[in-house]
Chain A
Amino acid sequence: MSIFTEAEAKAILDKVLALSKADECTATLTGSIAGNIRFALNNVSTSGIVSNSNLAVQSAFGNRVGTASINEFDDAALERVVRRAEDLARLAPENPEFMPAIDKQSYKPSPTFSASTAAITPEFRAQVAADSIAPCREGKLTAAGFLEDGQSFVAVANSKGNFGYQQATNFDYTCTVRTDDGRGSGWVGRNLKDASEFKADNEVRIAMRKATESAEAKALEPGKYTVILEPAAAAGLISFMMNFFDARQADEGRSFLSKKGGGNKLGEQVYDPRVNISADPWDPRAPVLPWDAQGLAREKMSVVENGKVAALDYSRFWAKKQGKRAVGTPGNLLMAGGDKSTAELIKGTQKGILVTRTWYIRMVDPQTVLLTGLTRDGTFYIENGVIKHPVKNFRFNESPVIMLNNIEELGRPVRVAGDESSFVMMIPPMKLRDFTFTSLSDAV
């Protein structure tokens, strides 16, 4: 069994703390059951279920720290893992950046658990695959997709009396549909809290339409264009940039948020005044655990407010050194926008390019957060408020900082997951001027 109740988890953690002889002891108990199904070429390719659980114990004598982990939970195993962590702590070198265990936190529960998502069965997953594949077969199209779902729990406790327990679920579906001749490709992604809201046979139609409509792509010259980035396309760039909001890096002069002459850009106008990015673990659209990886309580906070940098990420050590208050590192990224859908943004666009998705985004220059990557699975030319024709994919070289200073309009945020980001995000579709495409790609 990998999912413990709060009482079961607390009983185990209480035993761990009672066994501790160290100056301080912190323990984290986690468990998960993860299911997935993968399909391609209109057939299921792989499918599985993985259950896992883990207890990590951290002991400290002075500023010497040791950590050990185990996945057995009887009394003898608990004694073993605690003694092992203590032995390691006694042998560890002194850590000059040691921070004592966190004080007792007040964790307000966030709605991260969905009973319908936790109840998913292998049959449900097979049905999602079947419902994605059937309309594609009928339409002479080829589907490849992935559903990953799971339930998990995290329980934390320490010798200063801190305790937290919460269950969570996750559900993420993506599907790429290609025309049989390989000239068209479309994509859809849905990241949801509640699986009962999901209808694969509806969602797959979006990817099918984009696949069919992208088949006769024309080449446009690379250059600067007005673009409409769909939320999934914008999320890749914005979440990448948010990984570089570290205060210490900025203070050390090696971040785009470092100031010429020293110091950081906290409080400075870095983006267009319409840019507002916040974090809120209790946001019902994109809830996350109410504590971060250190066990620090998360707070509802502004990260960028009216284009000004409102918060940088201070580790507990760096916060102490700089005289700042350390708060939990955000787990979600909520970008504000307007009321318009992507379709409405298209309607108001005279000339521009619609981007469904961005791909293989990598840092080119950390000095300016210049990122490169490509468009993928549905890139279209817009003229006089309508989509005129598909265009060949582009490579871009663009900085999200420059991009978020070139805003024409922001639409209504939707929940998205990033290909390579752990943030749960609400991102609006965005219309931007002078987005830099540097070359064409033949890829479909």
Chain B
Amino acid sequence: MQRRDFLSFTGLGLAGLALPYGRAIAAEALLEPADLARRRRLADTALNAAREGGADYCDVRIGRYLRQSVVTREAQVRNIVNGESAGVGIRVLSQGAWGFAATDASTPDAVAAATRQALAIARANARIQTRKVELAPVAGVGETRWATPLRKNAMAVPIKEKVELLLGVNAAALKAGADYVNSTLFVINEQKYFASSDGSYIDQDIHRIWLPLTATAVDKASGKFRTRDGLSAPMGMGYEYLDADPAGKVALPGGLTGYGRSYDVMEDAVAAAKHARAKLKAPSVKSGKYDLVLDPSNLFLTIHENVGHPLELDRVLGYEANYAGTSFATLDKREQGYRYGSERVNFVADKTRPGSLGAVGYDDEGVKTREWDLIRDGILVDYQATRDEAHLLGHKQSHGCSYADSWSSVQFQRMANVSLKPGKQPLSVAEMIKGVERGLYVHGRGSYSIDQQRYNAQFGGQLFYEIRNGQVAGMVEDAAYQIRTPEFWNACVAVCDERDFRLGGSFFDGKGQPSQVSAVSHGSSTTRFNGVNIINTARAL
């Protein structure tokens, strides 16, 4: 997550007026339905203007992006932001080059003018283009709809209820020993109307939710402070994710809890406070080689960084070379049957898993979403592609990986959900730990950094417990694992079975220029890696 995206979302760093406090009736305003007939007319205005201007292809996204955040610390609400952004983005293909223009004026005249502007840009670019854009075919689907399956629309839950929940959580953490606590609720609703010259008019209603928290413990005498973040995952769900359903969690060794399709924020806040206090006294880790047992709440981010990103085809080809970088997983490796990991390593990509952040009916190019294999029995077999990339893989259809974070952003290749398949043999977490002589059991996302080709990575965590002779021993501090991607996945010796499968996710994944965010989930069961390098991160100033 990028700091500036967080600041922008929460209104804490707005370049204009800082939004200090929001509204109790906002949820109602956020529930106003969009007018389908009006959007269809606007879309046709753009499609007609593009056709009249000689475009070979055109797509129009009429978007209404609603974001709500409730930001608290201790007994105070720092900010409530109800953001609405609406407008029209038009992309045209002309003479083999793309042009894009967007306008916040949702009138036929403005949309027609923006379409002509997009055409002019495409033609200016076509003059220096040596390789023409080639689109994988998509059959128009006519008028259709898709919506995130919800039990309780979070936008419809009164602000008062959300404030009470967060302030209650904060009070519980303070009572349990935290000196400070921050908690935030993010709710997103993307209302996207997509139309294209292929003959599709797709109306989608997409919902996401996240409740991150941080408990801080301070020892003023020594000047030491420690934090423990919450262990929830952002989800493509409604408010039902916060219903603390006991069936949605699992009890884990060391007295820890794993959260699946339901999050008990109160319970986790109390645990976070206690853990933050315990971290003040935990011994510093001894650096060296350890066997790692990684909980899905930690492993998801490693998967994101060193499997999800390197298998994005635009990176592999060099389209992201100037910013996010390229990839070590070059196309020739797929041809050669490159061994990415051990035979226990199977990765699947999807945009369909219920409850995941990436789940949609159609992507932002009107492609119906699906699931496909990326790594099979440790061998690299495929990438993630959009319409203008699919032919480079010899595919006749796109994977449906196109996404734009706003009506004002041009769509491009973004990561699908990328998940490690559970082990085929029955294996519980307790059984996995029983077989470890000297190891570390890691929970939660911590610091993360990886190079521009996705070889060298360093990850922290929220909780590191030593494993000695098959038992979870005490907590240790100042640990991070430093890895090289292929060695790491080849050191994977065991994956717990599907009973332990849980999703983690990245709510603000940054990519592209101008930078755009997307949200994506990564599932796994607890997984063991042998002989991983652990560094000690303690320093003295």
Residues of the A chain whose Cβ atoms lie less than 8 Å from the Cβ of B128? 43-44, 126, 129-130, 133
Which residues of B301-330 have CB atoms within 8 Å of chain A's CB atoms?
317-323, 325-326, 328, 330
Q: Is the beta-carbon distance between A46 and B16 smaller than 8 angstroms?
A: no
Apart from the given pairs A28-B17, A88-B25, A185-B321, 10 other A-B contacts in the complex at a CB distance below 8 Å: A44-B129, A46-B98, A66-B23, A92-B24, A146-B513, A293-B18, A366-B225, A395-B456, A439-B533, A443-B456
Is B251 located at the chain interface by the 8 A CB criterion? no
Tell which of A93, A123, A148 touches B514, judged by Cβ atoms closer than 8 Å: A148
User: B: which residues have CB within 8 A of A?
Assistant: 2-4, 13-26, 75-78, 80, 83-84, 87, 97-104, 117-118, 120-121, 124-125, 127-131, 163, 179-180, 216, 218, 220-225, 227, 317-323, 325-326, 328, 330, 408, 410, 412, 447-456, 458, 460, 478, 480, 482, 484, 513-514, 533, 535, 537-541
Specify which of B163, B410, B533, B540 lies most central, judged by the most chain A CB atoms within 10 Å of its CB.
B410
Interface size class of A (residues with CB under 8 A): 35 or more
Smallest Cβ-Cβ distance to B219: which chain A residue? A253
Contacts A364-B480, A365-B537; A88 near B451 (Cβ below 8 A):
no
Smallest Cβ-Cβ distance to A46: which chain B residue? B410
Tell which of B17, B124, B322, B455 touches A27, judged by Cβ atoms closer than 8 Å: B17
Is A167 located at the chain interface by the 8 A CB criterion? no
Smallest Cβ-Cβ distance to B408: which chain A residue? A50
Q: Is the beta-carbon distance between A50 and B102 smaller than 8 angstroms?
A: yes
Least distance between A68 CB and chain B CB atoms (Å): 8
Q: Is the beta-carbon distance between A438 and B22 smaller than 8 angstroms?
A: no
Q: Is the beta-carbon distance between A88 and B24 smaller than 8 angstroms?
A: yes
Q: Is the beta-carbon distance between B124 and A359 smaller than 8 angstroms?
A: no
Q: Is the beta-carbon distance between A420 and B4 smaller than 8 angstroms?
A: yes
Q: Is the beta-carbon distance between A30 and B15 smaller than 8 angstroms?
A: yes
Give the top 7 A-B pairs by smallest Cβ distance, nearest first: A88-B23, A260-B223, A48-B100, A443-B453, A28-B17, A144-B321, A441-B456
Q: Is the beta-carbon distance between B216 and A254 smaller than 8 angstroms?
A: yes
Is A407 located at the chain interface by the 8 A CB criterion? no
Residues of the A chain whose Cβ atoms lie less than 8 Å from the Cβ of B318? 40-41, 142, 144, 178
Smallest Cβ-Cβ distance to B29: which chain A residue? A84
Q: A48–B102 Cα gap in the complex (Å)?
A: 8
Tell which of A47, A92, A176, A376 touches B100, judged by Cβ atoms closer than 8 Å: A47
Stretch at the interface among A3-11, A52-60, A195-203, A278-286: A52-60
Q: Is the beta-carbon distance between B222 and A28 smaller than 8 angstroms?
A: no
Specify which of B117, B224, B317, B537 lies most central, judged by the most chain A CB atoms within 10 Å of its CB.
B537
Contacts A174-B322, A293-B13, A363-B447; A262 near B220 (Cβ below 8 A):
yes
- A-B contact number at CB 8 A: 281
Contacts A50-B102, A253-B225; A95 near B20 (Cβ below 8 A):
yes
Is A367 located at the chain interface by the 8 A CB criterion? yes
Q: Is the beta-carbon distance between B460 and A364 smaller than 8 angstroms?
A: yes
Which residues of A46-77 have CB atoms within 8 Å of chain B's CB atoms?
46-54, 56, 58, 64-69, 71
Least distance between B495 CB and chain A CB atoms (Å): 26
Contact with B along A150-189 (1 / 0, CB 8 A): 0000101000000000000000001110100010010100
Q: Is the beta-carbon distance between B321 and A40 smaller than 8 angstroms?
A: yes
Least distance between A259 CB and chain B CB atoms (Å): 7
Q: Is the beta-carbon distance between A442 and B484 smaller than 8 angstroms?
A: yes
Specify which of A27, A129, A259, A397 lies most central, judged by the most chain B CB atoms within 10 Å of its CB.
A397
Contact with B along A353-380 (1 / 0, CB 8 A): 0000001111111111010111010000
Is A393 located at the chain interface by the 8 A CB criterion? yes
Residues of the B chain whose Cβ atoms lie less than 8 Å from the Cβ of A26? 17
Q: Is the beta-carbon distance between B16 and A122 smaller than 8 angstroms?
A: no
Q: A1–B240 Cα gap in the complex (Å)?
A: 43
Q: A252–B214 Cα gap in the complex (Å)?
A: 15
Q: Is the beta-carbon distance between B121 and A122 smaller than 8 angstroms?
A: yes
Q: Is the beta-carbon distance between A42 and B15 smaller than 8 angstroms?
A: no
Q: Is the beta-carbon distance between A30 and B16 smaller than 8 angstroms?
A: yes
Is A261 located at the chain interface by the 8 A CB criterion? yes
Contacts A56-B16, A402-B541; A47 near B125 (Cβ below 8 A):
yes
Q: Is the beta-carbon distance between A48 and B410 smaller than 8 angstroms?
A: yes
